[in-house]
Every structure is written in structure tokens, then in C-alpha cells.
Amino acid sequence: GRPWSNPEAQEDPAHLSKSRLRSDLVSHNVELPPAGSKKEVYLKLHLEHVDQGNAAGFSSDEDDQVLYAPGGDRVDTKIPDPTALSDKDLKDLLLKYGVKAGPIVASTRAVYEKKLRKLLQSDGNEGLNEAETAVLYSDSDEEGEENGDLEDEKESEEEKERINEALELNQKQCNEHLQEPVKNILKDLIPEAKTTPTGIYVTPRRPIKGAAQRPILYGYPDTPVSPTTLERRDVERRLVPIYVQILVFFIVLYILYFISINV
Amino acid sequence: MLQLCPHICDPAMSSTSQKHKEFVAEPMGEKPVNALAGIGEVLGKKLEEKGFDKAYVVLGQFLVLKKDEELFKDWLKDTCGANAKQQRDCYGCLKEWCDAFL
């Protein structure tokens, strides 16, 4: 069976917990009331925005395969509430978005829920059904055969969306980072590039040493010098100690001479 | 004064703090959580309140998040309100420690 088909339709919102109402509102892109508001406030908003979508004559169970709701209202009612997901479902759904999640334990649950919420919100406008129903169907064996083809189609669309998303993210991050000093661009771009799902990576061109007021960041190898310059540098290095050595030599000579005279 | 030694300190080396260097130099043992780079008194207290009273507990969280940079930084921000630089320092510190000892 499907773990979370139409939870809002089946439960009276008044029976939902405040945090559940809150996350429903978030997934419907409804502005949250100020923190610390009473449950009634959340409930009211929930009834206004979320249940409106349900009341618009939206799907019975058979209509689950419809990707876009008629009449322009968003397909938000299909978005699973990350808080309500089981650990396994949360992990699977994250995997659909290309996120290889680690163990979902008490301390990691919140972080992964937050990540999923972020992914869901950015994906909400494009019709989430593909990812979600794919998870639904993959969970139940009985429905597996029938929906095999559907799943494939949905997955390739998913992938395209994921690639677009990743590209957008990359673009956005690149633009943001341009504001920071040069050093950070390199540090941030290079590690980022390794993890892009698209496999696109950047190798920054080394800036021309000293050109256009660019600070010299790399230690370029020494410019080639002529042998005479090297010699001169060598001699210069030893000049001072040599003087000391010669001086000491003569002093010792003088002392010896002085002694030999007096003997 | 005779400058016999032409060796000059490399300025690039000072990008990691002293705290970072000290932490990464040896096994962390029972070091407190504010021995981590990026974690000072204030953040350390907040982490302790949440139960992360030793550096190794934070290490545990880091590992359970599979050493993922974004997730760990998010977790750190949510748990103790670390800013971007503190997140970066802490992540870098733990990552380097793991590279050396794990």
C-alpha cells in the first residue's frame, strides 16, 4: 500500500499537531505566522491554503497518476511531509534527488528533513509527482510490473530536472562566490566542482602574475637568471663571513708572529 | 645583525589557525568541544547543552553525516548557531583530523 497518499484529505487538520501544520504550510509555500503563534493561527492558515487545494475537487486515489492538477492549482497536496516519513522513505526520497544519505538516526534526522524540504520546495513548481510516485510504486511489489514503463519515463524526466537544478545551483553558487575575494573563489569552486552530479567541473586559469592589479597568489618558480647573477648572489652571501674569517686569520698570524719574536 | 639565513616564513601557512594546528597534530582523546577550531566559549556551551560535550561526540556526528560538508555545516548552524566562518573552520579541522588519524 502507499504510505502517504493524500494525508491531508484523510485527516482532519484540526487533529494534526502544530509542527505538522507548520510543515504542511511550508510545503505549500505559505508564509508562516510569527514563531510562538498559537495552534489556531496555524490551523486557520492551513484551512485557508492547504484545504482549499483539496476542496478543488482534486484526486481520488485513481488519479494519483495525473502529473499536473487541472485548473492551475499546484500539486502540493502530493508532497509528502518529511516529518511524517519513515526513516527508510526519507532516505529513499533523498536518493531520488541524488542525495546519498547516511544513516537516518535521531541526530541526523532533522538535517535530512531540512534538506528534503529544501529540495521539495525548489521542485514544487515543476510537479513533484514523478519523484514521489516513483517512490510509492517502488515500495509496493504488487504495483511494480504495471508501472514499470511509467517509472522509466518519469525517471528520465526527473533526471533532466535534476540536471537543470544542479546546473542552476552551480550557477547561483558561482555568482554568489564572485563577490568574495579571489582566494575563496578558488577554494570554493574546486571542492564544489568535484561533487557536481553533472560531472562538469572547472579548472581555473592561473592569473597572469602581477597583471591587472591581481595579487600574486601562486608561488611561481623563480625566473631564470643568468649564471653571473647566480654567482654574484652566491658571493654576496659569503662576502660578510669571509671578511670575518680573513680578519681572524690575520689576528692569529700576528699573535703567532708576536709570540715567536718574544721567544 | 648578520642575516645568515635567507629562509623567510611562508605567509600562506598562516591560513589555518593555531587552534586548528594543535587539534590536528594529535589524537583528540578527551579534549573538550571548544578545542575544535571555530568553536569558542559561546558555541562550546551551546553544544554542551545539546549533549555534545566532548570533541569526539562532534566527530561522531561528523562521521554519521558521512563527512559531508554541506550537511555538517547545516547541522552545526542549526545546533549552535555557528556562522559561515566558524562552520568552515570546524569542518576543516575535523576533516583534516580524520585524514590524519581515521
The whole-number pLDDT of residue A49 equals 76
Taking only residues 200 to 259 of chain A, the set having a beta carbon closer than 8 angstroms to any beta carbon of chain B reads 219, 237, 240-241
Q: Give the pLDDT confidence of B46-86 residue by residue, as tens digits.
A: 999 999 999 999 999 999 999 999 999 999 999 999 999 99
| Rounded Cα distance, B20 and B35, in Å | 9
Give a yes or no: residue A29 inside a domain.
yes
Give a yes or no: residue A111 inside a domain.
yes
- Where in the sequence is the domain holding A31, given as residue range(s)? 13-54
- A-interface mutation test, from B75, B87, B89, most A Cβ less than 10 A away: B75
CA distance A226 to chain B (A): 20
- Asked if B66 and A102 come within 8 Å (Cβ–Cβ), the reply is yes
Residue B33, pLDDT above cutoff 80? yes
Give a yes or no: residue A65 inside a domain.
no
Between these two residues, A6 and A103, which has the higher pLDDT value? A103
Q: Categorize the per-residue pLDDT at A66 as very low, low, confident or very high, splitting at 50, 70 and 90.
A: very low
CA distance A256 to chain B (A): 29
Planar angle of CA B84, A35, A87, nearest 5 degrees: 70
Give a yes or no: residue A69 inside a domain.
no
- Asked if B74 and A111 come within 8 Å (Cβ–Cβ), the reply is yes
- Asked if A102 and B65 come within 8 Å (Cβ–Cβ), the reply is yes
| Rounded Cα distance, A161 and B31, in Å | 46
CA distance B74 to chain A (A): 7
Beta-carbon count within 10 A of B12 CB: 10
Instruction: Record the cell numbers describing residue B89, joined without a space.
Output: 573552520
Give a yes or no: residue A4 inside a domain.
no
Report the residue from B4, B6, B64 with minimal CB separation from A103.
Answer: B64
The domain limits of chain B are 30-101
| Rounded Cα distance, B78 and A246, in Å | 70
Give a yes or no: residue A94 inside a domain.
yes
Determine contact: A34 vs chain B, CB below 8 A: no
The whole-number pLDDT of residue B12 equals 47
The whole-number pLDDT of residue B94 equals 95
Measure the CA dihedral A208/A212/A214/A220, to 10°: 30
| Rounded Cα distance, B21 and B16, in Å | 7
The whole-number pLDDT of residue A215 equals 59
Domain edge (last residue) among A120, A143, A163 = A120
Give a yes or no: residue A39 inside a domain.
yes
Q: Give the pLDDT confidence of A224-233 residue by residue, as tens digits.
A: 667 777 677 6
Number of independent structural domains in chain A: 2
- Asked if B74 and A114 come within 8 Å (Cβ–Cβ), the reply is yes
- B-interface mutation test, from A94, A107, A114, most B Cβ less than 10 A away: A107
Helical H segments across chain A, by residue range: 7-10, 18-27, 39-45, 51-55, 87-96, 106-123, 129-139, 148-177, 182-195, 227-262
Measure the CA dihedral A173/A200/B93/B86, to 10°: 0
Residue A16, pLDDT above cutoff 90? no
Residue B29, pLDDT above cutoff 60? yes
CA distance A37 to chain B (A): 21
Global ipTM: 0.77
Q: Does domain B30-101 match CATH 1.10.150.40?
A: yes
CA nearest neighbour of A108 among B67, B61, B68: B61
Report the residue from A102, A114, A237 with minimal CB separation from B64.
Answer: A102
Instruction: Report residue A46 CA to chain centroid gap.
Output: 30
The residue to which cell 680578519 is assigned: A247
Give a yes or no: residue A132 inside a domain.
no
Q: Categorize the per-residue pLDDT at A34 as very low, low, confident or very high, splitting at 50, 70 and 90.
A: confident
Residue A76, pLDDT above cutoff 80? no
